[in-house]
């Protein structure tokens, strides 16, 4: 690593601690870690791109079910109340709390959906060996930025807590949208384990040049 002339294109720097590494081919299933801070630099997996796109499409379809199907049904002494995810979003819609409606809508539905679409747009063409679409890099960067702000899995835990809180006063039955959301969270999590940022960036770069 201490040759007089370093060729930047043959190097990779750890995004965490700036340490330089020589780019090497990492076998599928193996992990390359930073020598200094132990951050995972590369973790390529076989057929990862195809799986990511397929899982992202699945998650996007599930998202449609989440929004439009009934989510929770509540019944207590003859009274009944149906609630969809849209209702939960609209819970804050009167008065001072209106901005929170937009925030919940964004965290639970809009941002996860945009993230999935960005991933499909950026990686989709690569699995067919097609050149990357225009702004594919921007789309994939957006998907990375949105990752902490997609909170569907946190919403699920919120539902669980809410169910315990009202379990004493009413009977709650779970609708298809609830199970769709559970499936969506699982699919998204599996998809993210296949995501090796560096491999995808390198592929995007070569597909743009050709």
Partner 1 sequence: MQVDDLENAGNPTPLLTARQAGLVACTGCGRVHEQGVERCERCGAHLSSRDTTSLQRVWAWWFAGLIIYFPANLYPMLITNTLGTEYKNTILGGVIELIDHHSYFVAGVVFFASIMIPVGKFIAIAYLAYSVRHRATMSDHGRQVLYEVVEFIGRWSMIDVFVVAILSSLVQFNFVASIHPGIAAISFALSVAFTMLSAQSFDPRMIWDAEEAATE
Q: Point out which residues bind partner 1 (CB under 8 A).
A: 1-2, 6, 8-9, 11-20, 35-39, 41, 72, 74, 76, 79, 81, 83, 87-92, 96-97, 99-100, 103-104, 107-108, 137-138, 140-141, 144, 148-149, 151, 154-155, 157-162, 164-166, 168-170, 172, 197-198, 201-202, 204-205
Nearer to partner 1, 65 or 92 (CB): 92
Distance CA 188, CA 192 (A): 6
Cα–Cα–Cα angle for 115, 150, 177, rounded to 5 degrees:
95
Q: Six-digit token pair at 1?
A: 């690593």
Nearer to partner 1, 68 or 107 (CB): 107
Report, in Å, the least distance between residue 155 CB and partner 1: 5
Nearest approach, Cβ of residue 184 and partner 1 (Å): 15
3-state secondary structure of 158: helix
Distances (CA, A) of 84 to 13, 16, 79, 194: 46, 41, 17, 31
What minimum distance in Å lies between the beta carbon of 26 and partner 1?
13
Count of Cβ atoms closer than 10 Å to residue 120 Cβ:
19
């Amino acid at each position: 690593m201490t040759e007089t002339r370093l060729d930047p294109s043959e190097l990779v720097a750890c995004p965490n601690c700036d340490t330089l590494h020589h780019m090497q081919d990492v076998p599928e299933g193996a992990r390359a870690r930073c020598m200094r801070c132990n951050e995972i630099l590369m973790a390529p997996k076989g057929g990862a791109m195809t799986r990511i796109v397929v899982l992202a499409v699945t998650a996007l379809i599930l998202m449609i079910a989440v929004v439009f199907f009934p989510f929770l049904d509540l019944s207590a002494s003859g009274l009944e109340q149906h609630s969809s995810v849209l209702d939960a979003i609209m819970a804050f819609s009167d008065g001072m709390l209106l901005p929170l409606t937009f925030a919940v809508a964004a965290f639970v539905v809009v941002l996860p959906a945009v993230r999935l679409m960005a991933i499909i747009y950026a990686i989709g063409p690569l699995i067919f060996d097609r050149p990357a679409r225009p702004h594919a890099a921007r789309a994939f960067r957006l998907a990375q930025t949105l990752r902490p702000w997609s909170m569907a899995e946190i919403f699920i835990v919120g539902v669980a807590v809410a169910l315990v809180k009202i379990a004493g006063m009413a009977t709650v039955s779970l609708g298809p949208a609830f199970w769709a959301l559970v499936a969506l969270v699982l699919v998204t999590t599996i998809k993210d384990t296949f995501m090796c940022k560096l491999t995808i960036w390198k592929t995007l770069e070569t597909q743009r040049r050709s």
